[in-house]
Chain A
Amino acid sequence: MTDPIKVDVWSDIACPWCFIGKRKFEAGAELFGGDVEVEYHSFELSPDTPVDFDGSEQDYLLTRGFPADRIDGMLDRVTGIAESVGLHYDYDALQHTNTVLAHQLIHYAKAHGRQLEMKERLFAAYFEQGRHVGRVSDLADLAAELGFDREDVVRSLTENEYLAAVRADQELALEYGIQGVPFFVIDGKYGVSGAQDAATFASVLTQVRDEKAAVA
């Protein structure tokens, strides 16, 4: 019997591959079958995005230099891959925004022992339900729906209670040299980049477990 395998995941709410990667990792962990302890860490893909971005996802991608004639095809492809793992992305409804407050809310939830639940709720709110995840009031509504104390969430986000924790995650990402997300750090020693197949995650977890068992 070995201790759970610790998996630290850097991701952003606004990253389509991060939600897909979450599903693929979860499937991989199920295939693996052993104990896995997952902790999410903050990574802002686009920290300069305004909270109330005025435009569609297509407009946003144009501002990032994506070729206009290929954007719809690209989004269709992402949407199709999301569907393949059971996610229903709705880019027509999606409200592009800054995610630093959402990251703070994830830290708030972690402090209350419910990080994974909040991460999932925010991903679904953003990609599937067209909910705004950049404003204090909207985030507090989402938290209240999960049973959190809305007033205390408003207080926490207004005070930027967990901004330092977000920045600490980002510093750690820099130390690891993480440039893209999702990025999985397994057992503090191994890195897995991207939304890889479930079987790949399962294989990596098995390898790490076997190595830990060999030295136990």
Chain B
Amino acid sequence: MSEKLEILGDPEAEVFEGEFCEIPPHHEQAVMNRRVDSDQI
């Protein structure tokens, strides 16, 4: 993440993984959903 931004929000929310989609590191343009709890989404 850019140093331009200070990340705010509930730190616990970061473990809501899957509440957003994410670009996987192996493919800079194909974006998949991040993990939802134990699910891969």
Contacts and interface: CB of A to CB of B under 8 A. Distances in A.
26 contacts: A15-B31, A16-B21, A16-B33, A20-B19, A44-B29, A45-B21, A45-B31, A47-B29, A64-B30, A74-B39, A77-B36, A176-B4, A177-B2, A179-B22, A180-B31, A181-B31, A190-B6, A191-B1, A191-B7, A193-B20, A194-B16, A195-B19, A196-B9, A200-B10, A201-B9, A204-B9
Interface of B: 1-2, 4-10, 13-14, 16, 18-23, 29-34, 36, 39-41
A66 interface: yes
A203 interface: yes
Given A48-B30, A65-B32, A185 B5 contact: yes
A48 B32 CA distance: 13
Contact of B33 (A17, A21, A186, A192): A17
A201 B13 CA distance: 11
Main secondary structure of the interface of B (DSSP, over half): loop
Interface of A: 12, 15-18, 20-21, 44-48, 64-67, 70, 73-74, 77-78, 175-183, 185-186, 189-197, 200-201, 203-204, 207-208
Given A47-B29, A66-B32, A66-B40, A176 B5 contact: yes
A95 to B, nearest CB: 18
B30 A197 contact: no
A20 B18 CA distance: 12
Nearest to A189: B6
